[in-house]
């Protein structure tokens, strides 16, 4: 009876340890680039602005070798206008960070949760990315085309330029005619990789032996 009880306890312990064991793999983003474009109502090169914002952290989660999802934190405080003079750059950057737009003091980060990658055939881009983006506390499900490459635990994603409606995220002048002269759609494009990118070949750089 004692042997039977001991055997049962050992089996229970093994089961508990197995249940607690994690089999997933986390692959961190080590290279990233995020660009944005904003436009006046008349969408021309002369009436548009562009700039950058930095990724604070990013990772891809795997179940064994299968990509499950991705989690990305965007540092909204790093938002910068990059197509104007130095004086105008400071002015425009401060405006974007103010309560009129992204309110970075109250909402210092934005989040993107990549939920799935669906392969595309016969297209300029090989995949459609699905995910949930959160800006100023507002979460929306979005999709966009991208070239995505997943090899073992190495991930490279280069998105097409895609649009978000700023009004969906309460990004607008609260009471000003100025808002009517700004197009609702803002364009974004990003590139992330779990390894340093070779910009010429757009593939992960091979590690030196």
Please tell me the pTM assigned to this model: 0.80
Q: What is the mean pLDDT of residues 56-84?
A: 92
Give the pLDDT confidence score for residue 90 in this predicted structure. Answer: 87
Between residues 19 and 105, the one the model is more confident about: 105
Per cent of the chain over pLDDT 70 is 76
The mean pLDDT value for 28-42 works out to: 91
Using the structure block, give the residue that is written with the tokens 């210092």.
108
**Residue listed under structure tokens 């436009």:** 39
Measured distance CA(201)–CA(44) in Å, rounded: 31
Band of residue 203 on the pLDDT scale cut at 50, 70, 90: low
Average pLDDT, the chain: 82
Is 70 exceeded by the pLDDT of residue 126? yes
The answer to whether 166 and 181 have CB atoms below 8 angstroms apart is no
Number of residues in the chain: 209
Q: What integer is the mean pLDDT of 82-92?
A: 78
- The CA distance from 59 to 69, in Å, is 9
Joined together, the tokens standing for residue 2 give 């004692």
pLDDT at 150 over 60: yes
Q: Do 156 and 140 touch, CB atoms closer than 8 A?
A: no
- pLDDT for 41 equals 76
Q: Is the pLDDT of residue 115 over 70?
A: yes
pLDDT tens-digit map of 166-193:
999 999 877 666 777 788 999 999 999 9
Q: Where would I find the beta strands (DSSP E) of 64-126? A: 66-81, 109-119
Query: Would you state the pLDDT for residue 190?
Result: 97
Q: In 3-125, where do the E strands start and end?
A: 24-28, 31-39, 48-63, 66-81, 109-119
pLDDT of residue 47: 63
pLDDT at residue 93 greater than cutoff 70: yes
Q: Can you tell me the mean pLDDT for 60-73? A: 93
Measure CA 158 to chain center.
11
């Amino acid at each position: 009876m004692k042997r039977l009880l001991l055997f049962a306890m050992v089996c229970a312990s093994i089961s508990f340890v197995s249940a607690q064991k994690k089999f997933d793999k986390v692959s961190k983003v080590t290279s990233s680039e995020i660009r944005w474009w904003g436009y006046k109502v008349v969408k021309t090169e002369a009436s548009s602005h562009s700039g950058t914002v930095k990724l604070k952290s990013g990772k891809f989660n795997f179940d064994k070798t299968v990509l499950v999802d991705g989690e990305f934190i965007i540092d909204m405080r790093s938002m910068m206008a990059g197509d104007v003079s130095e004086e105008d750059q400071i002015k425009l950057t401060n405006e974007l960070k103010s309560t009129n737009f992204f309110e970075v003091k109250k909402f210092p980060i934005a989040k993107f949760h990549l939920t799935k990658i669906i392969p595309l055939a016969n297209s300029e881009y090989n995949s459609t990315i699905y995910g949930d983006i959160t800006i100023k506390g507002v979460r929306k499900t979005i999709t966009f085309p991208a070239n995505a490459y997943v090899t073992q635990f190495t991930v490279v994603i280069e998105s097409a330029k895609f649009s978000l409606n700023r009004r969906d995220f309460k990004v607008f002048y609260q009471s000003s005619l100025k808002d009517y002269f700004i197009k609702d759609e803002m364009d974004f494009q990003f590139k992330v990789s779990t390894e340093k990118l070779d910009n010429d070949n757009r593939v992960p750089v091979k590690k030196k032996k």
